[in-house]
Copies of this chain bind each other. A is one copy, B any other.
Amino acid sequence: MASTKQLRLGAFMRPVSIHTGAWRYPGAWRDANFNLPRLTQLIKTLERGCFDAFFMADHLALLNMPVEALKRSHTVTSFEPFTLLSALSQHTTHIGLVATASTTFDEPFHIARRFASLDHLSQGRAGWNIVTTSNPDAALNFGRDDHMEHDERYARAREFYDVVTGLWDSWADDAFIRDADSGLFFDTDRLHVLDHKGKHLSVRGPLHIARPVQGWPVIVQAGASEAGRQLAAETAEVVFAGAGTLANAQAFYADVKGRMRRLGRDPDHLKILPGAFVVVGDTVEEAHAIRTRLDSLVHYDSAIASLSIALGHDASLFDPDGPLPEIPPTNASQSSRERVIDLALREGLTVRQLAQRLGGYGGQAFVGTAQTIADEMQEWLETEGCDGFNVMFPWLPGGLDDFVDKVVPELQRRGIFRTAYEGRTLRENLGLPRPGNRFFESQPARE
């Protein structure tokens, strides 16, 4: 099937490798997640590979895992997203900089201001990954014993989005005249005071920073629940999706784009990027060997906990070197359990190997040569499974170098990925329109 539909690539970069064993891989930078010169090198490599965006997930607490697993995790010390991305903006010129920020544990005035500032500092490359923060440990760091319940969090998030985008529109794009002769710095008719009073938030405004270069930084979301999908269809321009199988991805894609059509939004104005763990080898066998080696670096104590959770059954008494035994039914998620049992059978994994697979990275993976990986990515792209991927690298720097040096040229050869950036801003590169200002007419209206 011929297509000119273009692949969009984000790089999932907090932690810099999602795989629990990554920092132990031979040749890996052990501190890659917390070393600025190395992160600078990584983002320059991504820019050389024409990636759309550097995507920083975020957490507002140490990950809630048992200390036995925690002490083996390279995620425990990380930079804060706004400070890191502002620093990295000075070493790059085109790649987008997506920061995660919480609508539950922060203030819309701070969030609007910080993204506007990052967008100006990077000349239009900021994106906001809106999260509602479901980790109950985070609440304890912000003086709340009880975590806000799911629907309440989403209702606040929707209002928070309205306030933040309203604050971004505080100034018309042409408000600042800076006329030294008359002494007028701005045109008072081009300033809007939001004066928002809603159910969850009360924010006067205006913001004391000019409208972002992109009008609004690109809006990113990752929620997969009913409320999350609806919020995405209403507001998002990029969705970082969980994946599972291609069939699952196609169903998610159809659902979210269908919601957009019903809301009157152009479905092209939202890019769906499933997460993809990509392991490149010169042969398929070599790629699998790399993955097996990586998985073997996951400590069994932490791995077995992941397996127990997935099965809804204590797996610690199983023979680590035997096959997965029969398990009595429980009321745990059947789809999660079936997926794990299916995986063990299909690849002939022992209990240890299965546990290490899940404890390393259990999500969607493309493992093979540049050719087979490009085949799969192209199939997902052309069969409405996605608009691109949020790529996770198995270890650094080699796992990233292999992707940029081998997979990217193959995607380019097929005409489904850019060979140079099309525009200057993240929005331009993603093919998204610049939103008009809701309070002033001088800009083209949104959509």
Residues of B within 8 A of A184 (CB): 71-72
Residues of B within 8 A of A171 (CB): 77
Q: How far is the CA of A110 from the CA of B102 in the complex (A)?
A: 11
Chain B residue, CB-CB nearest to A203: B141
Is A24 part of the contact surface with B, judged by Cβ < 8 Å?
Answer: yes
Residues of B within 8 A of A205 (CB): 141
* A window 142-197: CB within 8 A of B: 142-143, 145, 171, 176, 178, 180, 183-188
* Residues 17-33 of chain A, each 1 if its beta carbon lies under 8 Å from chain B, else 0: 00000011000101100
Q: How far is the CA of A23 from the CA of B62 in the complex (A)?
A: 46
Is A38 part of the contact surface with B, judged by Cβ < 8 Å?
Answer: no
Whether B36 pairs with A121 at a CB distance below 8 angstroms is yes
Stretch at the interface among A41-49, A80-88, A309-317: A80-88
Stretch at the interface among A112-120, A221-229, A371-379: A112-120
Whether A83 pairs with B80 at a CB distance below 8 angstroms is no
Is A218 part of the contact surface with B, judged by Cβ < 8 Å?
Answer: no
Whether A80 pairs with B117 at a CB distance below 8 angstroms is yes
Known contacts A86-B86, A210-B34; is-contact A79 B188 (Cβ 8 Å): no
CB < 8 Å neighbour of A86 from B73, B82, B143 = B82
State the Cβ distance, A339 to closest chain B Cβ, in Å: 27
Most B Cβ at <10 Å: residue of A74, A183, A187: A183
* Residues 323-367 of chain A, each 1 if its beta carbon lies under 8 Å from chain B, else 0: 000000000000000000000000000000000000000000000
CB < 8 Å neighbour of A82 from B61, B83, B140, B204 = B83
Q: How far is the CA of A383 from the CA of B142 in the complex (A)?
A: 46
Whether B78 pairs with A208 at a CB distance below 8 angstroms is yes
Is A67 part of the contact surface with B, judged by Cβ < 8 Å?
Answer: yes
Is A254 part of the contact surface with B, judged by Cβ < 8 Å?
Answer: no
* Residues 197-213 of chain A, each 1 if its beta carbon lies under 8 Å from chain B, else 0: 00001111110111000
Chain B residue, CB-CB nearest to A141: B109
Is A297 part of the contact surface with B, judged by Cβ < 8 Å?
Answer: yes
* A window 62-112: CB within 8 A of B: 62, 67, 71-80, 82-84, 86-87, 89-91, 105-107, 109-110
Whether B106 pairs with A110 at a CB distance below 8 angstroms is yes
Most B Cβ at <10 Å: residue of A145, A186, A206, A208: A208
Is A59 part of the contact surface with B, judged by Cβ < 8 Å?
Answer: yes
Is A299 part of the contact surface with B, judged by Cβ < 8 Å?
Answer: yes
Residues of B within 8 A of A142 (CB): 107, 109, 203
Whether A83 pairs with B118 at a CB distance below 8 angstroms is yes
Is A60 part of the contact surface with B, judged by Cβ < 8 Å?
Answer: yes
Residues of B within 8 A of A28 (CB): 180
Known contacts A82-B86, A87-B89; is-contact A62 B206 (Cβ 8 Å): yes
* A window 111-138: CB within 8 A of B: 113-114, 116-118, 120-121, 137
Q: How far is the CA of A249 from the CA of B227 in the complex (A)?
A: 59
CB < 8 Å neighbour of A208 from B76, B86, B90, B180 = B76
Q: How far is the CA of A63 from the CA of B301 in the complex (A)?
A: 56
Chain B residue, CB-CB nearest to A105: B107
State the Cβ distance, A394 to closest chain B Cβ, in Å: 15
Known contacts A90-B87, A109-B60, A141-B109; is-contact A80 B185 (Cβ 8 Å): no
Most B Cβ at <10 Å: residue of A62, A83, A117: A83
State the Cβ distance, A30 to closest chain B Cβ, in Å: 4
Q: How far is the CA of A299 from the CA of B181 in the complex (A)?
A: 11
Known contacts A30-B178, A87-B89, A141-B203; is-contact A183 B24 (Cβ 8 Å): yes
**24 A-B contact pairs sorted by A residue (CB < 8 Å):** A23-B180, A30-B178, A31-B176, A34-B120, A34-B209, A61-B208, A62-B206, A62-B208, A67-B188, A71-B188, A75-B208, A76-B185, A76-B186, A77-B210, A79-B209, A82-B83, A82-B86, A84-B86, A84-B121, A87-B121, A140-B203, A141-B205, A143-B201, A143-B203
